[in-house]
Amino acid sequence: MPIQELADLTWEEVRDLNRLRTVAILPVGAIEAHGPHLPLGTDVIIAQAMARAGAERLELEGFKAVVLPALPFTAAPFGAAFPGTLSISPTTITDLVFELARELTRQKFAALAIANAHLDPAHLGALILAVARAREAALLPVVCPDLSRKPWAPRLTEEFQSGACHAGRYEGSVVLFARPELVREEIRHALPPNPASLSDAIRDGAHTFEEAGGPRAYFGWPADASAKEGKATVETLGAILAEAVRGELPSEAA
């Protein structure tokens, strides 16, 4: 059965959903520089692929799932100096996710699962706060696995775990799998590796891609990306999202 997209349904079709057993999945990304070879919407593409893969896994495991329209705007200060990056305040994101959780609670959905592919610290902090606020307000469970931390990070690729993974092999592979027509292949193959660890630079106090050693807004090994790796990564991301949801919902929800 095809994955249901909320925006494609009519109000009567949503009325007839068994919403108490349905998880709403929100893909979250950013419009942000991803090197000279990947589109600004790379994180959104990854988040949408993760959301659909997670929905498929949940459906196989007895849950119901519906994918919400992607949230493409968020805090992206690391890439703000690059043309095209659209960075908004973390407070706006926290408020939006919290209000969405409140609305989904009103409509009696089982949970809100966030398929997040944007790892800027300001953005992650905004999501963490939104989850906490939803819990304090006794809203429906809001599930948002932080891919940069255990237990999820060790399940992803070697490049991802190195921290040199912005617009490199990890992200480039997913885009090659999901939206290959958007990859500038000639440029990608000509790019030298940039092994600078973005995560290490963040811990050392960097606040921009340039400070972290990425003057062209990429880190890692973009020329090594492949659609085959991208397919495997999407499957892993979907499994992570489904597992995180299972950990928050009571067994009778399945």
Whether 115 and 237 have beta carbons less than 8 Å apart is answered as yes
Residue 15, domain member (yes or no)? yes
Question: Can you give the CATH number for the domain in which 65 is found?
Answer: 3.40.50.10310
Residue 31, domain member (yes or no)? yes
Amino acid at 127: L
What pLDDT score does 252 carry? 52
What pLDDT score does 249 carry? 87
Instruction: Check pLDDT > 80 for residue 250.
Output: no
Residue 85, domain member (yes or no)? yes
Phi-psi map region of 68: left, alpha, beta (phi>0 left; psi -120 to 50 alpha): beta
Residue 190, domain member (yes or no)? yes
Residue 254, domain member (yes or no)? no
pLDDT digits (tens, 9 = 90+) for 152-181: 999 999 999 999 999 999 999 999 999 999
Secondary structure element (H or E) that encloses residue 113, with its range = strand 111-116
Whether 221 and 169 have beta carbons less than 8 Å apart is answered as yes
* Rounded (5°) CA angle 7-60-53: 55
Residue 220, domain member (yes or no)? yes
Query: What's the predicted TM-score (pTM) here?
Result: 0.96
Q: For residues 216 and 233, what is the distance between their CA atoms, to the nearest angstrom?
A: 24
pLDDT digits (tens, 9 = 90+) for 7-45: 999 999 999 999 999 999 999 999 999 999 999 999 999
CA distances to 28, 59, 104, 159, 184 from 53, in Å: 14, 10, 21, 21, 25
Q: Is the peptide bond before 151 cis (omega within 30 degrees of 0)?
A: yes
Residue 181, domain member (yes or no)? yes
Domain count, the chain: 1
Between strands 142-143 and 64-67, the pairing is unpaired
- Which residue range(s) make up the domain with 236? 4-249
